[in-house]
Chains A and B, each alone.
Chain A
Amino acid sequence: MDSAEIYPRLQHVFDEVFDEEIELQPGTTAKDVEGWDSLAHIRLLMTVEREFGIKFSTLEINGLATVGDLVALIQTHKAP
């Protein structure tokens, strides 16, 4: 799956999870987003799972630092 395809859908997920409007960049981290704490992180990842129809491992969930990482991870899961 192309990252150009992933970003708009991911943007939709962020809009659902967080209150404020966030413009997603590959370098966006939890520190840049108000309310992105460890529990919101889980809620975010669960929503991403539902949106893309994938399932992350605990290791993957804990290893994410940036939005770019997340997009790459989605790509790995959606690879044919």
Chain B
Amino acid sequence: VINLYTELQWLPTAPNDLSARIRAVQDATGPVGREIQAIANHALDLNQLTRLARAIDRRRKSGLELEPLTPFKLAVLGNGTMDMLSPALVASAARHGIALELVQPAYAQIAQEALSPDSAINVAKPDAVLFAMDHRALPLKLTIGDEAAATQTIEAAMSYIDMLRQGVKQHSGAACIFQSFAPPSEALFGSLDRALPGTLFNILDAINRRLAADCLGAGDVLLDIAALASTVGLAAWHDSQLWNLGKLPFGHTMIPLYADHVARTVAAMRGKSRRVLILDLDNTVWGGVIGDDGLEGIRVAEGDAIGEAHRSVQRTALDLRDRGIVLAVSSKNTDEVARTPFTNHPEMLLRLEHLAVFQANWNDKATNIQAIAEELSLGLDAMVFLDDNPAERGLVRKLLPQVAVPELPEQPDYYARTLAAAGYFEAVAFSGEDLKRAEMYQDNARRLELQKQVGGVDAYLASLGMTISFEPFDATSRARITQLINKSNQYNLTTRRYTEVEVAAAEADDSVFTLQVRLSDIFGDNGMISVVICRPNADGDWVIDSWLMSCRVLGRQVEHMVLRELCVHAAKAGARRLIGVYSPTDRNALVRDHYAKLTFALTGEEGDGTTYWELAVDSTLPDAAPMDVVRRGFDDPARDM
């Protein structure tokens, strides 16, 4: 689990064309800041960060623009070798929208640089000075068990730090960023170290507490390296071999993580922290799909392992709201259905009054997120979007690159941790204003008008590398088919439920046409996502007895491809028409216009809202969607598509 941190797993992995993209931004004329930021927004390792930083440096040296990245001049004073860290700092800063210029004097000149008016850093007039010191930079004397001497040591260390602060304040006026001190990974006694005055552990503990309070009081910034090192583990943080080899202050695998923390701190100082958390609902805020599983079926209860995983997402969201982060919802659902758990489920922590905007509809999420940003009058770069579905994440990243979209692990247990690890809401101060902010934006889960689709959705679909596969029912899949038939509520035209015995009967009956559909894409295999059953009537037409689909693949044009497949098989069987029926339930309003959208003609309507449709089989096939087709198990494999 340490890899979540060291490999920055909330970011997507580096693209295959990374080197080419880095080379392209190095020499391009014109503003390439956004592209640099987009490249940096991947889980880059130390080598990749170094290469990106070199491209940025070359641009700077050639006088080329880094717009629209925000310039920030940071002086770094450390007692270890900072050279290996510097490129990582520059590249990570770009990830957070900062064009970082480093001022880096020679090794181990911390006091001279801070105190002398004509030192490199004081002359450079940086925006901030980062004191990248570990405990080896402090004048520490270990006096085991001697409380008075220990107090003196702590006082001496604090006045040394204060002297550095005063020097910088006086000579350059820059803000100071101090690092807390990671405790040692080797104990002297053992557990006693923390309690006993004069041990290294005890002294650093005291210094860290004092330093945190001083920074808060003096308006300086604390970068909590002690917490960061503890999060990944002190044994992994401290690397004696690298210290001995090259005076590297910590293990090289920690550099991308450390650099990202410096960068997010600098970005926070420039007011670039995110301010809105937009939540997906199904399988993010609760386990399961409200439209299919119903109020009783979703998992959100205390005492249920899956429920508790999703509760922790809710609790995190509420905690963030308490510190001023605005919450919103973007869900593919019917508005009314999606609101039910908030109003009627006793175990829900989140309530409608916590949400500023509530967008539940069948639009794509990029469109909805843009609407949310406009409604709140906040930029897209203030938004974070949390969604378990990789295709939704990919779409939003592609179409709205300014929105932060964390990658999520398979296990919902780690959703909240991943969101926190990404540090989107890093802040360097907290005020009473912040407390009121979430309420200021409060509008009791307002629903916005449907918006015009943002551009680029079709190109995104084409980039998904989708493969759709068609097969008749078979014994292997019978259980899953039966499950889908009995579970699907929303994308279900007739909502006819069949037992496994009845499914087997349809499978064995040669006159009945059965279809199971699977979809895979670059994110993986979605498994079986659609089921269709057609029965011939006396006129030799095919009546579509059942047509259902998983909402997970909504908006992928799967239904168009299924219709093409039906037409081909119906034609082979000599059927003249496809007859469709829509039987309304309180769950399936989503597919009321299903047949109309697929160009079926309306032939009848009943008082209860049931509609009848037909399509001539010889009519032109609907356009093929951008996906490969695989066909298995049909006696007479259809050809000539």
Q: How far is the CB of B518 from chain A (nearest CB, A)?
A: 36
**When A39-B81, A42-B84, A43-B46 are in contact, do A19 and B51 touch as well, CB less than 8 Å?**
yes
Query: Would you call B51 and A38 a contact (CB within 8 A)?
Result: no
Query: Would you call A58 and B245 a contact (CB within 8 A)?
Result: yes
Out of B54, B241, B242, which one reaches A19, CB within 8 Å? B54
B83 within 8 A of A: yes
Can you name the residue of chain B whose Cβ is closest to the Cβ of A61? B245
Q: How far is the CB of A77 from chain B (nearest CB, A)?
A: 16
Can you name the residue of chain A whose Cβ is closest to the Cβ of B19? A15
What is the CA–CA distance of A47 and B84 in the complex, to the nearest angstrom? 14
Collect the chain A residues with CB atoms within 8 Å of residue B34's CB.
none
Q: Mark A16-37, 1 if CB is under 8 A from B, else 0.
A: 1101000000000000000000
Query: Would you call B47 and A58 a contact (CB within 8 A)?
Result: no
* Residues of B580-622 contacting chain A, CB below 8 A: none
A46 within 8 A of B: yes
Query: Would you call B245 and A43 a contact (CB within 8 A)?
Result: no
Can you name the residue of chain A whose Cβ is closest to the Cβ of B246? A42
Q: Mark A33-76, 1 if CB is under 8 A from B, else 0.
A: 00000110011001100000000001001100000000000000
Q: How far is the CB of A46 from chain B (nearest CB, A)?
A: 5
What is the CA–CA distance of A74 and B318 in the complex, to the nearest angstrom? 52
Collect the chain B residues with CB atoms within 8 Å of residue A16's CB.
47-48
What is the CA–CA distance of A42 and B54 in the complex, to the nearest angstrom? 18
Collect the chain A residues with CB atoms within 8 Å of residue B377's CB.
none
What is the CA–CA distance of A42 and B48 in the complex, to the nearest angstrom? 15
* Residues of B210-258 contacting chain A, CB below 8 A: 241-242, 244-246, 248, 252
What is the CA–CA distance of A62 and B245 in the complex, to the nearest angstrom? 8
What is the CA–CA distance of A42 and B51 in the complex, to the nearest angstrom? 16
**When A39-B81, A46-B252 are in contact, do A17 and B47 touch as well, CB less than 8 Å?**
yes
Collect the chain B residues with CB atoms within 8 Å of residue A38's CB.
246
B516 within 8 A of A: no
Collect the chain A residues with CB atoms within 8 Å of residue B47's CB.
16-17, 43, 47
What is the CA–CA distance of A38 and B46 in the complex, to the nearest angstrom? 16
How many A residues have CB within 8 A of the partner chain?
13
What is the CA–CA distance of A62 and B19 in the complex, to the nearest angstrom? 30
What is the CA–CA distance of A14 and B19 in the complex, to the nearest angstrom? 13
How many B residues have CB within 8 A of the partner chain?
17
Collect the chain B residues with CB atoms within 8 Å of residue A61's CB.
245
What is the CA–CA distance of A19 and B83 in the complex, to the nearest angstrom? 17
**When A16-B47, A19-B51 are in contact, do A39 and B83 touch as well, CB less than 8 Å?**
yes
B50 within 8 A of A: yes
Query: Would you call B50 and A42 a contact (CB within 8 A)?
Result: no
**When A16-B48, A47-B47 are in contact, do A39 and B54 touch as well, CB less than 8 Å?**
no
Number of A-B contacts (CB under 8 A): 31
Q: Mark B59-103, 1 if CB is under 8 A from A, else 0.
A: 000000000000000000000010110000000000000000000
What is the CA–CA distance of A62 and B46 in the complex, to the nearest angstrom? 21
Query: Would you call A43 and B81 a contact (CB within 8 A)?
Result: no
What is the CA–CA distance of A19 and B56 in the complex, to the nearest angstrom? 13
Interface centre among B47, B84, B244, B248 (most CB of A within 10 A): B47
Query: Would you call A43 and B252 a contact (CB within 8 A)?
Result: yes
Q: How far is the CB of B15 from chain A (nearest CB, A)?
A: 15
Q: How far is the CB of B216 from chain A (nearest CB, A)?
A: 35
Query: Would you call B252 and A42 a contact (CB within 8 A)?
Result: yes
Query: Would you call B84 and A39 a contact (CB within 8 A)?
Result: yes
Can you name the residue of chain B whose Cβ is closest to the Cβ of A62? B245
Collect the chain A residues with CB atoms within 8 Å of residue B246's CB.
38-39, 42
Can you name the residue of chain A whose Cβ is closest to the Cβ of B251? A46
Q: How far is the CB of A41 from chain B (nearest CB, A)?
A: 9
What is the CA–CA distance of A17 and B50 in the complex, to the nearest angstrom? 8
What is the CA–CA distance of A6 and B84 in the complex, to the nearest angstrom? 26
Collect the chain B residues with CB atoms within 8 Å of residue A15's CB.
19
What is the CA–CA distance of A58 and B245 in the complex, to the nearest angstrom? 7
Q: How far is the CB of B43 from chain A (nearest CB, A)?
A: 15
What is the CA–CA distance of A62 and B47 in the complex, to the nearest angstrom? 21
Can you name the residue of chain B whose Cβ is closest to the Cβ of A46? B252
Q: How far is the CB of B49 from chain A (nearest CB, A)?
A: 11
Can you name the residue of chain B whose Cβ is closest to the Cβ of A13? B47
Q: How far is the CB of B401 from chain A (nearest CB, A)?
A: 25
Query: Would you call A58 and B81 a contact (CB within 8 A)?
Result: no
Can you name the residue of chain A whose Cβ is closest to the Cβ of B252? A46
What is the CA–CA distance of A17 and B84 in the complex, to the nearest angstrom? 12
What is the CA–CA distance of A43 and B84 in the complex, to the nearest angstrom? 8
What is the CA–CA distance of A15 and B246 in the complex, to the nearest angstrom? 23
What is the CA–CA distance of A34 and B81 in the complex, to the nearest angstrom? 20
Query: Would you call A42 and B46 a contact (CB within 8 A)?
Result: no
What is the CA–CA distance of A16 and B46 in the complex, to the nearest angstrom? 10
What is the CA–CA distance of A62 and B48 in the complex, to the nearest angstrom? 24
Query: Would you call A42 and B83 a contact (CB within 8 A)?
Result: no
What is the CA–CA distance of A16 and B84 in the complex, to the nearest angstrom? 15
Q: Provide a sorted-by-A list of 24 A–B residue pairs whose CB atoms are within 8 angstroms.
A: A16-B47, A16-B48, A17-B50, A19-B54, A38-B246, A39-B81, A39-B83, A39-B84, A39-B246, A42-B242, A42-B245, A42-B246, A42-B248, A43-B46, A43-B47, A43-B50, A43-B84, A43-B252, A46-B46, A46-B252, A47-B47, A58-B245, A61-B245, A62-B245
Closest 9 CB pairs of A and B: A16-B47, A46-B252, A39-B84, A42-B246, A39-B83, A17-B47, A58-B245, A58-B241, A42-B245
Other than the given A17-B47, A42-B248, 16 more pairs (CB < 8 A) read A16-B48, A17-B50, A19-B51, A19-B54, A39-B81, A39-B83, A39-B84, A42-B246, A43-B46, A43-B47, A43-B50, A43-B84, A43-B252, A46-B46, A58-B241, A58-B244
Please list the residues of chain A having a beta carbon within 8 angstroms of any beta carbon in chain B.
15-17, 19, 38-39, 42-43, 46-47, 58, 61-62
